[in-house]
Amino acid sequence: MRTIQNSLFLWRRCILSLLLVGLVSIASAQQKKVTGKVTEFSGAPLPGVTIVVKGSTNGALSDTDGNYSIANVPADAVLQFSFVGMRLQEFSVAGKSSIDVTMEEESTGIQEVVAVGYGTQKKKEITSSIAVVKSDEFNKGNVNSPVQLIQGKVSGLSISKAGGNPNSSFDIRLRGLSTIGANTGPLIVIDGVVGGSLDNVDPNDIESINVLKDGSAAAIYGTRGSSGVILVTTKQGKRNTSVIDYNGYVTVESIAKHTDVMTAAEWRALQTETKLGTDFGSTTDWFKETTRQAISKVQNISLSGGSEKTTYRASVNYRDVEGVSITTGFKQINGRVNITQKAMNDKLTVDMNLSATKKEAEYGFGEAFKQATIFNPTAPVKSAEPGYAKWNGYFNQTLFDYYNPVQILSENSSKGEDLLYNLSLKGTYKIINGLTIDASYSRQGNSNQRSEYYSKKSFWTGANKNGSATKKENTGSNTLFESTINYNGTVAKDARFSVLGGYSYQDFTYSGFDLSGGNFLTDAFQDNNMSASLDFKNGLGTVNSYKNSEKLISFFSRVNLNVKDTWFLTASARYEGSSRFGEANKWGIFPAIGGGVEIGKFLNVSAIDNLKIRGNYGITGNRPSDSYLSLLRLGPKGNFFYNGKFGPAYAPVSNANSDLKWEKKGEIDLGFDFSLFKSKITGAFDFYTRTTTDLLFSYQVPVPPNLFDQAMLNLGEIKSSGLELAVTFNVIQKENFSYSTTLTPSYNLENTLVSLSGTYNGAELKYGVRDLGNMGSPGQNGTPLVRAEEGKPIGQILALQFKEINAAGNFTFEDLSGPKGVPDGTIDTYDRKVVGNALPKFLIGWGNDFTFKNWDANLFFNGVFGHDLVNSFRSLYEVPKLMGSYNLPKTAKDIRNAQGVLLNNSSGVFSSLYVENASFVSLDNASIGYNIKLTKGAIVNKIRVYAAGNNLFYITKYKGVDPNPRYGDSEDNNNPLVPGIERRGTYFRTRSVTVGVNIVF
């Protein structure tokens, strides 16, 4: 920013000087001269600042040392100090002859400077769709992941998680789905480090989060920009300050929703009718037995400050988080140090960031949620009967897929330890005014350990294995080297430009191993002494290890043009290569161009402060998630009998696709940014349409000639488009009371699987219609749930159309078609139809911020509309005759025919009955805070106490656990073509209340 200002300085001074000569000559002689020095917040002199006597044309500019001198100033005058990107300041002269001023950076409005890829840009010059969320706008309360901070705040960005599992991550989807076989989550850039891990940033340390939404903004990140880019900026120290900041809060979390099943009394009542199942005489609430009120404690302390040449910020974060399911939660400690130092006459700036996180987690078992829901409510948790002694007294029954949930959680364990680190170093050198060069190096790494132990006495999975242990370790690291050169200059009067050129090199290495074996003499070791597992002695233990690597190399460039602060143009390109592609297709080019016009300058409407229309086009890419797919590789694949003993068999591990190349997404974004009534109403509107071609996807290919029937290919096309609005209305802004409200609606116009067909090795591959997903056991294997069909939207939920329960007590369904395309009197696969849509149509966030004297409050509502969910629990268990084996949803009692006869014959059959509208509105977070008034000179500068609630309520018709959309199938590697299924292992939905304090010293 400074460099632009310096280059502007000369010509501006020329113009103004001429003006001043004229002005000075008509100035009154009785007025006196005022001098002073203008500095930046850091104390550095600020040249080029315009100083004007308010209400006159009398003015001056500060010189290269920041000094100014202005003559003929009336004694009662007010001086106005203005500078691009800085807040306008006014000072009363009040007889003084010397006024020194420290300029402060403008933090809002169109003068705002926004982080973009590889640098910053003034908001007014931006020609693409970039959302900025600052720390004061972040979601409050029980926030354990950085993405929660902006959940609902960015129009078009969906951040969701089903259930309250503290250890599961959020699904992040920007503008729907733009890829199906590659990475569906956005690229994370933390303080300029590309491909950073959000797990290594504590939410407390984040200053702002920017989302590069369109293809043009993301194209500078080329191959990793297709699913959007999220830029995270962490907090930095400020010059000439010294601050200690403490944050601490306690959260109490409880279950908000699980599938409602019959109580013991209800179960007994139904049993008298069905005569099925065994009443074991107890009354057990399995939800109560497997859950708790979870208490979490979070503490953060940071030290920050700086001198003239150095700024620093160091922080430590500690999180002790419990999950509502017993034996789930994590403890995490994270540290971060950011240091910036200037040297060589301030021409050189060195930034150093270090961060590390250690997380110890207990995961529990999703199976326990399912079993707590279906376990017999008349069964005791434990029984003194001798038969149960071998299960440690836990009651169990031998039925298919049926295990005591308390025992699952308390006798077995699933734990993990994650270690993450990041080290980065960056040097920026100002060669001459306007020309800088920088180089940065960073290294990131992670190691994840997972261990599971199933006890000898657990009926579930360890028992007959005589104890069973698994231990895994995966490590990954990457090295990033980048260098850029920047030049800011002018082409002509009123026409400024900046040019960026850069090189980036990143290599990745992943490796890991896992061991699993059982047959232990004692449960004492768990996974800590695998040599005690007799399975290894008997050849039954399994051992695996792997290592792979990847490289990304790129050259990139960007040009920005600003003509008269009215016409803006941005063009960029990235030329990038990845080792993962076929020999001839390693490199790809990803260009972008965008333009904007500040038409507010042409419309002479006083209500309009700014109105910028903009449009752009950009191409981004995606690479496959695995290395080596272009190579023919061999590996050990089983054994065979050779000369009387087993020997290893080596065979290809997959089809090789030597033509593998980038997946490409082209996106057009048209929009406008506006500010009305002196920033009372501000916002942005966008229309986008994006088309992804050469989709990376594992396709079915013919065998022979191919070795396997699946190959990773580039075929097909998907398309999505939508509308986004973000508007903030500062309704009231009084000294003692303010209220502002923000709405972020987005509407998905289309999300279409245009084609998944194409040619591979001369073979015409036709995708057509595929029915995917599977309801599963008991009894609904081979029951597809979602249809992927060329030319149709993604996420069509497919089912038989339920008609009624007939007199005989059977489900009946509509006979819609048959093999010949007409109803044929039988109900079969031909009678399925699209009965739901898995992906939401309309999303909206609604934020409300209030301040009243020392109080502040916020209410944030979240609405997601137009999506359906498959309720697996109901489909599998809402069948009265199954009460012989399982507890059933309360709704099972109502599965009767018109005469009130209970459904008594049919098995569970997946139908439209179980596809539910899952639209919802939730009070996502609400908070109230009080800033304690402190007397000047107190040892404490600020104390704020607050209370917050998260997910306080949901308004929805959905009967399952959590109405949030499912973007992929949790039982199929999160396959994005199979969205919309709520599986039985879903962690119960929770709500939480937090109280906290923030103290600044």
Partner 1 sequence: MKKTLFSIKNILFGVLVAALSQSCTNLDEELFSEVTPANFFKTEEEFISALGSAYTQFGGWASGDPQNLQEFTTDEMAAPTRGQDWDDGGQWRRLHLHAWTKEDGVMSGAWNFGFSGVNTANRLIYQFQSLVTSGQVKQEVADAYVAELQAVRGFFYWQLIDLYGNVPLVNDFITAEATPATKTRLEVYNWLIKDLEAAVPKLSKAVDGTTYGRMNYWAGKALLAKLYLNAKVYSGTAQYDLAIAACDEIINSGKYTLESNFFKNFNTDNSGSKEFIFAIPYDKVFFQGFQLHMQSLSYLSQATYNLTAQPWNGFCSLEEFYNSFDDTDLRKGEPGTLTSPSIKRGTFIAGYQYSSSGAILSDDGVETSDPDGKPLNFGSIGSGKPQINELGPQAWRQAGVRIGKFEFASGSTEHLSNDYAVFRYADVLLMKAEAQWRKSGNATDAASLALVNQIRARAGVANLTTLDGKLSFDLAGAVVPGGELFNELGRELAFEKSKRQAMIRWGVFTNVTKWMLPAKNVGDVWKTDAYLTLFPIHKDKLAANPNLKQNDGY
833, burial (CB in 10 Å: exposed 0-12, middle 13-18, buried 19+): middle
167: contact with partner 1 by CB under 8 A: no
398: contact with partner 1 by CB under 8 A: yes
Cβ 640 to partner 1, closest distance in Å?
Answer: 4
Which of 318/628 has CB closer to partner 1? Answer: 628
Task: Collect all residues with Cβ–Cβ distance below 8 Å to 592 and sequence separation of at least 6.
Answer: 128, 215, 216, 217, 219, 220, 570, 571, 572, 573, 616, 617, 618, 619
Q: Is 977 left (phi over 0), alpha (psi -120 to 50) or beta?
A: alpha
Which of 22/762 has CB closer to partner 1? Answer: 762
Binders of partner 1 in range 484-503 (CB under 8 A): 503
Cβ 557 to partner 1, closest distance in Å?
Answer: 15
218: contact with partner 1 by CB under 8 A: no
Residue in 114, 211, 123 with CA at minimum distance from that of residue 596? 123
Which of 650/737 has CB closer to partner 1? Answer: 650
- Centroid of chain to Cα 845: 16
518: contact with partner 1 by CB under 8 A: yes
**Range in contact with partner 1 (rule: CB under 8 A) among 24-32, 61-69, 649-657, 841-849:** 649-657
**Residue 407-446 contact track with partner 1, rule CB under 8 A, x = bound:** --------------------x-x-x-----x-x-x-----
Give ∠ CA 749-753-754 in degrees, rounded to 5: 95
Q: Is 281 left (phi over 0), alpha (psi -120 to 50) or beta?
A: left
22: contact with partner 1 by CB under 8 A: no
1001: contact with partner 1 by CB under 8 A: no
Helical (H) or strand (E) element with 804: strand 802-805
477: contact with partner 1 by CB under 8 A: no
Binders of partner 1 in range 530-589 (CB under 8 A): 538-540, 545-549, 551, 553, 577-581, 586
Cβ neighbours of 809 (radius 10 Å): 18
| Residue 478: CA count within 13 A, CB half-sphere | 18
Which of 311/875 has CB closer to partner 1? Answer: 875
Which of 107/639 has CB closer to partner 1? Answer: 639
Cα dihedral 210, 214, 219, 225 sign: positive
Cβ 650 to partner 1, closest distance in Å?
Answer: 4
**Range in contact with partner 1 (rule: CB under 8 A) among 149-157, 757-765, 889-897, 956-964:** 757-765
Cβ 405 to partner 1, closest distance in Å?
Answer: 17
Cβ 627 to partner 1, closest distance in Å?
Answer: 6
Task: Collect all residues with Cβ–Cβ distance below 8 Å to 512 and sequence separation of at least 6.
Answer: 472, 473, 474, 475, 545, 546, 547
Q: Are 966 and 795 in contact (CB under 8 A)?
A: no
Cβ 826 to partner 1, closest distance in Å?
Answer: 5
| Residue bearing tokens 């191919």 | 706
User: Residues in contact with partner 1, total (CB under 8 A)?
Assistant: 114
Give ∠ CA 774-780-783 in degrees, rounded to 5: 40
**Range in contact with partner 1 (rule: CB under 8 A) among 203-211, 565-573, 878-886, 951-959:** 878-886
Which of 108/483 has CB closer to partner 1? Answer: 483
Q: In angstroms, rounded to a whole number, what is the distance separating the alpha carbons of residues 368 and 287?
A: 10
Which of 114/903 has CB closer to partner 1? Answer: 903
Cβ 5 to partner 1, closest distance in Å?
Answer: 21
Residue in 257, 204, 253, 201 with CA at minimum distance from that of residue 230? 201
Task: Determine which residue in the list 43, 55, 636, 791 makes contact with partner 1, applying CB under 8 A.
Answer: 636
Residue in 421, 496, 412 with CA at minimum distance from that of residue 456? 412
834: contact with partner 1 by CB under 8 A: no
Cβ 22 to partner 1, closest distance in Å?
Answer: 38
| Three-state secondary structure call for residue 263 | coil
762: contact with partner 1 by CB under 8 A: yes
Cβ 648 to partner 1, closest distance in Å?
Answer: 5
Which of 412/630 has CB closer to partner 1? Answer: 630
Which of 33/633 has CB closer to partner 1? Answer: 633
**Range in contact with partner 1 (rule: CB under 8 A) among 29-37, 524-532, 598-606, 759-767:** 759-767
Which of 6/566 has CB closer to partner 1? Answer: 6
Name the DSSP letter for residue 908. Answer: P
SS3 for 652-671, per residue? ECCCCCCCCCCEEEEEEEEE
**Residue 677-716 contact track with partner 1, rule CB under 8 A, x = bound:** ----------------------xxxxxxxxxxx-------
140: contact with partner 1 by CB under 8 A: no
Which of 235/430 has CB closer to partner 1? Answer: 430
For residue 940, the one-letter residue type is: V
Phi then psi dihedrals of residue 205, to 5 deg:
-95, 5
Q: Is 222 left (phi over 0), alpha (psi -120 to 50) or beta?
A: left
Helical (H) or strand (E) element with 727: strand 717-733
| Three-state secondary structure call for residue 95 | coil
Task: Determine which residue in the list 33, 54, 564, 637 makes contact with partner 1, applying CB under 8 A.
Answer: 637
Cβ 770 to partner 1, closest distance in Å?
Answer: 8
Which of 439/945 has CB closer to partner 1? Answer: 439
Task: Determine which residue in the list 783, 871, 912, 998 makes contact with partner 1, applying CB under 8 A.
Answer: 783
Binders of partner 1 in range 43-102 (CB under 8 A): none
**Range in contact with partner 1 (rule: CB under 8 A) among 220-228, 274-282, 449-457, 944-952:** 274-282
Phi then psi dihedrals of residue 195, to 5 deg:
80, 30
Q: In angstroms, rounded to a whole number, what is the distance separating the alpha carbons of residues 558 and 595?
A: 13
254: contact with partner 1 by CB under 8 A: no
SS3 for 16-76, per residue? HHHHHHHHHHCCCCCCEEEEEEEECCCCCECCCCEEEECCCCCEEECCCCCEEEEEEECCC
Task: Determine which residue in the list 597, 827, 844, 857 makes contact with partner 1, applying CB under 8 A.
Answer: 827
Cβ 353 to partner 1, closest distance in Å?
Answer: 19
> Which whole-number Å values give the CA distances from 438 to 346, 453, 545, 639, in the listed order?
14, 50, 39, 55
632: contact with partner 1 by CB under 8 A: yes
957, burial (CB in 10 Å: exposed 0-12, middle 13-18, buried 19+): exposed
Cβ 270 to partner 1, closest distance in Å?
Answer: 14
For residue 391, the one-letter residue type is: W
Binders of partner 1 in range 337-356 (CB under 8 A): 344, 347
272: contact with partner 1 by CB under 8 A: no
> Which whole-number Å values give the CA distances from 825 to 207, 735, 804, 828, 831, in the listed order?
65, 74, 16, 9, 10
Which of 552/619 has CB closer to partner 1? Answer: 552
Binders of partner 1 in range 796-815 (CB under 8 A): 810-813
Cβ 881 to partner 1, closest distance in Å?
Answer: 7
Which of 465/867 has CB closer to partner 1? Answer: 465
Cβ 460 to partner 1, closest distance in Å?
Answer: 10
823: preceding bond cis by omega (within 30 degrees): no
686, burial (CB in 10 Å: exposed 0-12, middle 13-18, buried 19+): buried
Q: In angstroms, rounded to a whole number, what is the distance separating the alpha carbons of residues 490 and 500?
A: 15
Task: Determine which residue in the list 647, 821, 900, 937 makes contact with partner 1, applying CB under 8 A.
Answer: 647
Task: Determine which residue in the list 122, 359, 665, 881 makes contact with partner 1, applying CB under 8 A.
Answer: 881
Binders of partner 1 in range 890-949 (CB under 8 A): 905-909
884: contact with partner 1 by CB under 8 A: yes
For residue 300, the one-letter residue type is: N
